């Protein structure tokens, strides 16, 4: 099957920008009743503009172009420009809306902005309308800048300018994409079955952060999550980005990885390595206020949770008196609610904690994941959380209130802004790269063997589960403890500010 | 071989497989009725022969006796929950019928119970002429308390390699013959049903049996979901073919979010007759919505701007509180009937029943439960009573 994705045409990139500029000049000779609609898709939040944005927006603009005697220009930056008449020629306004989905050019900011509001902090800034009669100069400045940008890139650098538009969008067939993705899955499956997987896994510590606590008690490790490192798996199989490209294929892969991870963790028990669950006793790295928080978290699929391998692993945890948390993704739970209910019952029967993972802020606005009754819910931090429109912000606040901030872990907390956003809303549990940095900085300050160690090295060694990844560290006990109790300190709002300075 | 008929041998659980057979027979007969397609059928009433003649080897031998009919056009064999066998085929098969009938009569001709009359064990029927009788027979055998059992997957689960091969096959296969239409009806005050729209699907079981008989595509749910994207493309291409939707009634199709945002949907949208604008429902899955919530919002608003209705399907009692309709911004929730629902007490507090459709309503218990909660829309084997000889435009 050869189904090629929509491409932007055959015109070389620099020619489209030039063609737009020329068309603007031509239209300017008789500007009356002519208008330019510029759709700034390049302003969408990464990873936007995505292929579907480009495809659908192109189709919508083309509808109007057909009806309003216009032309659509898809630029390399991702932006699209529609040059057309302000009213359809020779047709009374009362009739013109009836037979077509063509949008009145002047209604486009509202309609297109509404469609794209989930992907931009400011939908209003996505569309600019320049009536040629009054604003041709502004349009020419824009088109000239597009031409110049293309000229600079083609003249100065031999590397191609990043293409975000339809022309830059992949033109490989769906079949080729699929073949790469399934090839990646098979290669990863083979790798994890053949190799010593401790070098393919990673661990990350979540913390309980209380800025109001007295000095020395503001930050405590809460649990440590052990997962396969998808980045390492893709790197080792030379399939960067393919394993995670399709969410359904990725869930299939997750199912294949579960069994192997559970087997290995059971085997490593008592052997003294970083994957030895008997080393991670309560108190190392730390407990919550009730002293009952699990110290090890595993991310599992539903069949993995219901497998004999999981039963064996739970038995090993019980022998080691190690509390365990099981993380199940929201998409997995929603795919088979009956199986999820079985898994939840089994987790509860075993006295374990259930964590609902993979909850984005958008998911929080369209559904009520807390109705699945997890013990903890992991909300993925997004920079969008900081600039949501008021109604969406209110929706998030209401959801957090229903869940209870004490049951929320702000996941993927990569920046200090994430921690501040969470703390302002009563969230005290955090996990992510910024947390890694805080913990690393604390270790370096407290560690007597840290001379010559960089923060990055300390973070990477703490995340490693294989001996090779930890080599160079002379204080692996501290590495495994996450953070020394003596180093725990308030880090935000009136604290020492030291971690931020170190990270900077 | 009788196994060459388009029917899998019952495997894991015979009762489950037999209930599925009964449901599939009902579906087949109903499709014939709706589309005005003629078929012939014969029923081997093993259940009338007494327990002594209902041992497994009797059933096995009876199936073998129907072997000649396996070669008839579009032949399908169904084993009903009472062990009776129903064969449905197309066209003339006089010789095969005579041979099979003779073999059956020979098989049960002499025994302790004495000679049996041919009419007692062998019955031939015309569809649509005797469709109501066949429907009544199959419906009566569905145990109201325990039906709606999910299909048991038989065969190997897909792996990436077999999925890849299947998708390649799908590219060249004529999927039109797997296209099916299932009525979605509203229940009227007098208990009768009125057709509201048709659910258009591709029959996965038959498609898989035809293209990859050793595999059960739904056994691996994630690879199956991936496969549905390809099925979406084929379905959209099928519907967008010239003249396919001329005079068509309102309909619904299953789609993935990514399919709504794909080039095939744009072509389908262009081909959609003006009369159907606003009459087409796009049915989404919860896991698909959550796989890419931002894309879902974009697709939802785009589809709505184009005049499509949107619904979320396969909602169970567990998921009902998770997916409030207002929060999703959709038009309809498709609640999947199961016995578990009968003990679910959160309906009144949770859902606007005017925007709920009860799917898989295959039993009187399902209809009664839904009606008791004020649900008016039903989809299932029992929730469709179109007028005899009614035909829907293709």
Largest CA distance in chain A: 84
B20-29 pLDDT, tens digit per residue, is 788 888 878 8
Whether A170 has its CB under 8 Å from any CB of chain B: the answer is no
Nearest chain A residue to B225, by CA: A248
- State residue A177's pLDDT score: 75
Question: CB B168 to CB A251 under 8 A?
Answer: no
> Over 80: is that where the pLDDT of A149 sits?
yes
Which helix (H) or strand (E) covers residue A209, if one does?
A: strand A201-209
Question: CB A252 to CB B293 under 8 A?
Answer: no
Residue A344 near residue A373, CB atoms below 8 Å: yes
This model of the complex carries an ipTM of 0.87
The stretch A151-155 carries a mean pLDDT of 72
Nearest chain A residue to B160, by CA: A182
Chain B residues with beta carbon closer than 8 angstroms to that of A118:
293-294, 297-298
Question: CB B298 to CB A53 under 8 A?
Answer: yes
| Residue closest to B89 by CA, chosen among B4, B20, B213, B173 | B4
Q: Are strands A408-411 and B73-79 parallel, antiparallel or unpaired?
A: unpaired
C-alpha distance from A7 to closest chain B C-alpha (Å): 11
Interfacial B residues in 247-286 facing A (CB < 8 Å) = 258, 261-263, 266, 274, 285-286
- Facing residue for B290 by CB, picked from A5, A182, A331: A331
The stretch A444-464 carries a mean pLDDT of 92
Secondary structure (H, E, C), B80-126:
CCCCCEEEEEECCCHHHHHHHHHHHHHHCCCCCCCCCCHHHHEEEEE
Quote the CA–CA distance of B116 and A489 in Å, as a whole number. Answer: 92
Chain B residues with beta carbon closer than 8 angstroms to that of A366:
289, 293, 296-297, 327-329
Question: CB B298 to CB A334 under 8 A?
Answer: no
Whether B328 has its CB under 8 Å from any CB of chain A: the answer is yes
Per DSSP, what are the bridge partners of residue A384?
none
Determine whether A177 is exposed, middle or buried from the number of CB atoms within 10 Å of its CB (0-12, 13-18, 19+). Answer: middle
Per DSSP, what are the bridge partners of residue A411?
A380
Determine whether B225 is exposed, middle or buried from the number of CB atoms within 10 Å of its CB (0-12, 13-18, 19+). Answer: buried
- State residue A98's pLDDT score: 41
> Over 70: is that where the pLDDT of A370 sits?
yes
Interface test with B, best of A337, A359, A379, A383 (most B CBs within 10 A): A337
Chain B residues with beta carbon closer than 8 angstroms to that of A301:
none
Quote the CA–CA distance of A210 and A415 in Å, as a whole number. Answer: 17
Whether B321 has its CB under 8 Å from any CB of chain A: the answer is yes
Whether A7 has its CB under 8 Å from any CB of chain B: the answer is no
Question: CB B323 to CB A367 under 8 A?
Answer: yes
- State residue A289's pLDDT score: 42
Chain B residues with beta carbon closer than 8 angstroms to that of A362:
293-294, 297
Q: How many CB atoms are closer than 10 A to CB A224?
A: 22
- State residue A501's pLDDT score: 30
The stretch A87-95 carries a mean pLDDT of 60
Whether B163 has its CB under 8 Å from any CB of chain A: the answer is yes
B185-243 pLDDT, tens digit per residue, is 999 988 889 999 999 999 888 888 888 888 888 889 999 999 999 999 999 999 999 98
A293-305 pLDDT, tens digit per residue, is 448 899 999 999 9
The rounded percent of chain A whose pLDDT value lies above 70 is 82
Quote the CA–CA distance of B157 and B216 in Å, as a whole number. Answer: 5
Question: CB B221 to CB A335 under 8 A?
Answer: yes
Quote the CA–CA distance of B211 and B165 in Å, as a whole number. Answer: 10
C-alpha distance from B248 to closest chain A C-alpha (Å): 20
Whether B295 has its CB under 8 Å from any CB of chain A: the answer is yes
Nearest chain A residue to B322, by CA: A368
| Residue closest to A265 by CA, chosen among A254, A279, A255 | A279
Higher confidence at residue A192 or residue B261?
B261
Per DSSP, what are the bridge partners of residue A131?
A35
> Over 60: is that where the pLDDT of B113 sits?
no
Quote the CA–CA distance of A7 and A151 in Å, as a whole number. Answer: 22
B123-135 pLDDT, tens digit per residue, is 888 888 888 778 8
> Over 60: is that where the pLDDT of A494 sits?
no
- State residue A490's pLDDT score: 38
Whether A319 has its CB under 8 Å from any CB of chain B: the answer is no
Whether A42 has its CB under 8 Å from any CB of chain B: the answer is no
Quote the CA–CA distance of A396 and A364 in Å, as a whole number. Answer: 7
């Amino acid at each position: 099957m050869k189904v090629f994705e929509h491409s932007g045409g055959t015109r070389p990139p620099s020619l489209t920008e030039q063609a737009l500029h020329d068309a603007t000049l031509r239209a300017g000779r008789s500007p009356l009743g002519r208008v330019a609609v510029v759709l700034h898709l390049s302003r969408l939040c990464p990873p936007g503009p995505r292929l579907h944005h480009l495809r659908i927006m192109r189709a919508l603009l083309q509808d109007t172009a057909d009806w309003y005697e216009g032309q659509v220009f898809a630029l390399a930056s991702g932006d699209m420009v529609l040059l057309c008449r302000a009213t359809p020629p020779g047709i009374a306004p009362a009739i013109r809306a009836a037979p077509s989905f063509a949008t009145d050019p002047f209604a486009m900011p509202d309609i297109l902005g509404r469609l794209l509001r989930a992907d931009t902090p400011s939908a209003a800034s996505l569309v600019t309308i320049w009536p040629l009669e009054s604003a041709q100069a502004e349009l020419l400045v824009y088109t000239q800048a597009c031409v110049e940008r293309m000229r600079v890139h083609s003249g100065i650098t031999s590397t191609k300018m990043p293409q975000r538009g339809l022309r830059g969008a992949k033109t490989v067939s769906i079949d080729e994409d699929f073949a790469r993705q399934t090839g990646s899955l098979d290669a990863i499956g083979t790798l994890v079955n053949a190799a010593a997987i401790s070098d393919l896994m990673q661990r990350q510590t979540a913390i309980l952060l209380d800025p109001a606590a007295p000095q020395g008690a503001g930050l405590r490790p809460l649990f440590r999550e052990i997962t396969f490192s998808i980045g390492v798996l893709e790197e080792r199989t030379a399939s960067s980005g393919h394993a995670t490209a399709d969410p359904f294929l990725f869930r299939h892969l997750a199912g294949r990885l579960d069994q192997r991870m559970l087997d290995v963790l059971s085997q490593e028990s008592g052997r003294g390595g970083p994957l030895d669950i008997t080393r991670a006793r309560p108190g190392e790295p730390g407990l919550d206020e009730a002293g009952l928080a699990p110290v090890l978290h595993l991310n599992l699929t539903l069949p993995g949770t219901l497998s004999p391998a999981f039963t064996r692993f739970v038995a090993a945890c019980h022998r080691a008196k190690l509390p365990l948390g099981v993380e199940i993704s929201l998409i997995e739970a929603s795919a088979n609610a009956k199986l999820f209910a079985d898994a939840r019952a089994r987790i509860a029967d075993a006295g374990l904690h259930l964590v609902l993972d993979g909850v984005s802020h958008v998911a929080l606005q369209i559904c009520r994941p807390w109705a699945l009754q997890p013990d903890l819910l992991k909300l993925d931090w997004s920079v969008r959380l900081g600039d949501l429109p008021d109604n969406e912000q209110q929706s998030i606040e209401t959801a957090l209130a229903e869940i209870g901030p004490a049951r929320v872990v702000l996941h993927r907390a990569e920046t200090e802004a994430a921690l501040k956003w969470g703390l302002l809303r009563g969230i005290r549990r955090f996990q992510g790269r910024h947390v890694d940095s805080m913990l690393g900085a604390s270790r370096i300050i407290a560690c007597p063997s840290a001379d010559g160690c960089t923060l990055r090295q300390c973070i990477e060694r703490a995340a490693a589960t294989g001996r090779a990844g930890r080599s160079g560290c002379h204080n692996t006990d501290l590495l495994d403890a996450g953070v020394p109790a003596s180093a725990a300190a308030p880090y935000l709002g009136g604290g020492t500010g030291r971690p931020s300075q170190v990270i900077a | 071989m009788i196994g060459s008929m388009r029917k899998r041998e019952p495997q894991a659980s015979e009762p489950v497989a037999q209930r599925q057979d009964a449901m599939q027979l009902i579906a087949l007969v109903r499709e014939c009725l709706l589309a005005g397609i003629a078929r012939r059928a014969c029923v081997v009433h093993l259940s009338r022969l007494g327990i002594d003649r209902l041992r497994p080897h009797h059933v096995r031998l009876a199936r073998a006796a129907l072997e000649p009919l396996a070669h008839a056009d579009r032949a399908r064999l169904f084993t009903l929950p009472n062990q009776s066998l129903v064969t449905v085929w197309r066209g003339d098969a006089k010789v095969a019928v005579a041979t099979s009938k003779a073999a059956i009569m020979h098989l049960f001709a002499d025994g302790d119970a004495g000679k049996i009359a041919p009419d007692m064990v062998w019955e031939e029927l015309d569809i649509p002429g005797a469709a109501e009788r066949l429907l009544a027979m199959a419906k009566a055998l569905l145990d109201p308390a325990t039906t709606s059992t999910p299909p048991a997957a038989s065969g190997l689960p897909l792996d990436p390699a077999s999925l890849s091969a299947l998708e390649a096959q799908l590219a060249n296969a004529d999927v039109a013959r797997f296209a099916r239409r299932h009525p979605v009806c509203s229940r009227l005050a007098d208990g009768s049903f009125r057709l509201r729209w048709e659910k258009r699907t591709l029959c996965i079981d038959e498609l898989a049996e035809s293209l990859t008989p050793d595999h059960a595509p739904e056994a691996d749910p994630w690879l199956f979901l991936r496969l549905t994207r390809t099925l979406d493309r084929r379905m959209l291409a099928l519907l967008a073919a010239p003249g396919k939707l001329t005079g068509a009634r309102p309909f619904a199709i299953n789609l993935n979010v990514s399919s709504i945002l794909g080039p095939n949907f744009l072509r389908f949208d262009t081909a959609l007759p003006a009369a159907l604008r606003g009459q087409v429902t796009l049915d989404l899955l919860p896991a698909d919505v959550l796989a890419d919530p931002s894309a879902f919002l974009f697709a939802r608003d785009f589809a709505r701007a184009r005049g499509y209705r949107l619904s979320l399907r396969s909602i169970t009692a567990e998921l009902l509180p998770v997916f409030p309709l207002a929060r999703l911004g959709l038009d309809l929730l498709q609640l999947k009937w199961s016995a578990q629902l009968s003990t679910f007490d959160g309906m009144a507090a949770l859902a606007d029943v005017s925007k709920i459709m009860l799917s898989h309503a295959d039993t009187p218990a399902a209809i009664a439960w839904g009606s008791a909660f004020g649900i008016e829309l039903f989809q299932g084997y029992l929730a469709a009573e179109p007028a005899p000889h009614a035909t829907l435009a293709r």
